[in-house]
Structure 1
């Protein structure tokens, strides 16, 4: 989201600089970028607004910015207490979650990604210091870089008339991908294309072998611009236990792909029952039902995706942030 917004603002002629602490790991911005230390004051001396993302940049924005009267803005990308508890445990969640909340209370504005997220933070932040701006993402229509082995598998599925479930995510417990693997034995007409890597990779492969569906799962690993593989997908599946605003949802919308997702508050604040197939977390048969029902309604759903692509467009997100920046000056 940061790259998408920075690139779009730069393309529109605004002066944008992305400052960072850690290596960008191959991420290329259109605007100037510069690596800084926690002692650097350059961002505050050379810019009108400081918009930080994530825990450490927010600390920097607050502490180093104390000597500069520049508007401080942050975007919340998670549910702090809930997500910290899931990753690091309850004690860490209470300590660092509370610290992050205290930091945000000193910011001019904290952007929330969904109405549900804004509701979540009402108990901690002032309502006049929050606003909702949905994420967006730039996508191209280039062909994916696919290996001969992968193409052979996909062609084989096509010859068997298998419909493809697409998953693009970090392979970690929070993403709930095991639910899709567990559902496949009850979905003989479907296969799964899984893009991503992470700590659960080997466990998921073992689960596919034990379930007898190894021949119906293609593990593509991490791919840059994984959305390009949506051309091979019939239904995009997001079985997460927790999300801020999943970019995979946006990608599916832009490519007009039917979506099946867990019925968590984030997803339900973005979609209605008529637009996607919801299922209850942990209920594999409900997931099977949602996939079958969504596939049967795929033509109707695709028409709705065209409308959603306008609502969650890059232009809509950029204009919302520009309006916020102007209001803060």
Structure 2
């Protein structure tokens, strides 16, 4: 075991890039809570450290080999880090751990199509076979990957919320735009990378003829034009507002009345924990992952193939939004604490290293 001057095991985190996005803030929070026990360095392929990691950070070239000499364990997150470590596995003596945030084939198919998902998904799984341990965010995800990977390598560690502490005032122009758009209606919100997987299409269809609800969509992606065309085809331009990508989008969460977790498939749903942090009530598409994270009475579930089901869930919540928001906050705050998540990672790392 490698030790630094104060006797801590040395761990490397390998990230694809350093940007203000939920998965990166997830790692920032995790690192901060593990530093008392481990000497951590964050390595990355792109960007610069504007996120504010509390440990050493170092850029490495994706095209060149790097042995991580002197480290006991390397923790990776995402396709490129996983592929990079697998490609250089023979030169790396450290133990390898990957954390998976999505269902590989579904996620890749949603973004790049069936053929690409088959090719790159199969390659990704082959790379993961070279890892010592793999972390899944839910039991549902672990069961899914148990069909492809050795079950003894799979672990479940639930995420924690990744709300960024706000250092500047909310952009007043955007805030005013949202307020003017909302008018006297119930404002629904979705913050996401705009892909088919996020299920935003069925929300647009459901509210197209409703006089009660408006939908705010924050995020960008390849599917945005399709969604905008859908809004035009349904003639509901006055009911849907696309704001594109906004840094620190969570700061606008308090302006929402209800958050809609509409995904057809999801690795965990971190933004739902952000909504809980702000006491914003949630309606969820009824998928196994969301059933594992939440429970009836805390959120309302609906069937994505039924506009009536979604509108019924929205009506139930909109009639009692304050109570739903409080119950959600009280349920999620103790259950998904950062210290609980970091303790689980600490146990896993210690077991592997020793």
With structure 2 as the length reference, what TM-score do the two structures score? 0.83
- Counterpart in the other structure of 1:245: 268
- CA gap of 1:293–1:95, structure 2 versus 1, over 3 A, is same
1:149 to partner: Cα distance: 6.1
The secondary structure found in structure 2 opposite 1:171 is coil
> Structure 1: how far apart are the matches of 2:151 and 2:172?
50
* Contact residue 20 and residue 35 of structure 1 kept, 8 A: yes
> Structure 2: how far apart are the matches of 1:19 and 1:3?
15
* Contact residue 136 and residue 317 of structure 1 kept, 8 A: yes
> Structure 2: how far apart are the matches of 1:68 and 1:205?
47
1:130 to partner: Cα distance: 0.9
The secondary structure found in structure 1 opposite 2:238 is helix
- Counterpart in the other structure of 2:293: 270
1:144 to partner: Cα distance: 5.6
- Counterpart in the other structure of 2:116: 92
The secondary structure found in structure 2 opposite 1:69 is coil
The secondary structure found in structure 1 opposite 2:231 is helix
The secondary structure found in structure 2 opposite 1:45 is coil
- CA gap of 1:318–1:27, structure 2 versus 1, over 3 A, is same
> Structure 2: how far apart are the matches of 1:174 and 1:202?
15
- 1:58-207 matches, within 5 Å, as 58-140=82-164, 142=166, 145-148=170-173, 150-155=175-180, 157-158=182-183, 160=184, 162-207=185-230
The secondary structure found in structure 2 opposite 1:21 is strand
The secondary structure found in structure 1 opposite 2:43 is strand
**What do residues 143-174 of structure 1 show as CA deviations (whole Å, max 9, x unaligned)?**
7633436415515635x2x2211110122222
Deviates more, 1:238-247 or 1:58-67: 58-67
The secondary structure found in structure 1 opposite 2:208 is helix
* Contact residue 190 and residue 217 of structure 2 kept, 8 A: yes
* Contact residue 208 and residue 235 of structure 2 kept, 8 A: yes
* Contact residue 110 and residue 195 of structure 2 kept, 8 A: no
1:93 to partner: Cα distance: 3.0
> Structure 2: how far apart are the matches of 1:190 and 1:72?
47
> Structure 2: how far apart are the matches of 1:33 and 1:164?
40
Deviates more, 1:22-31 or 1:69-78: 22-31
Identify, as 1 or 2, the structure richer in helix. 1
1:26 to partner: Cα distance: 5.2
With structure 1 as the length reference, what TM-score do the two structures score? 0.89
1:24 to partner: Cα distance: 4.9
**RMSD after superposition:** 2.5
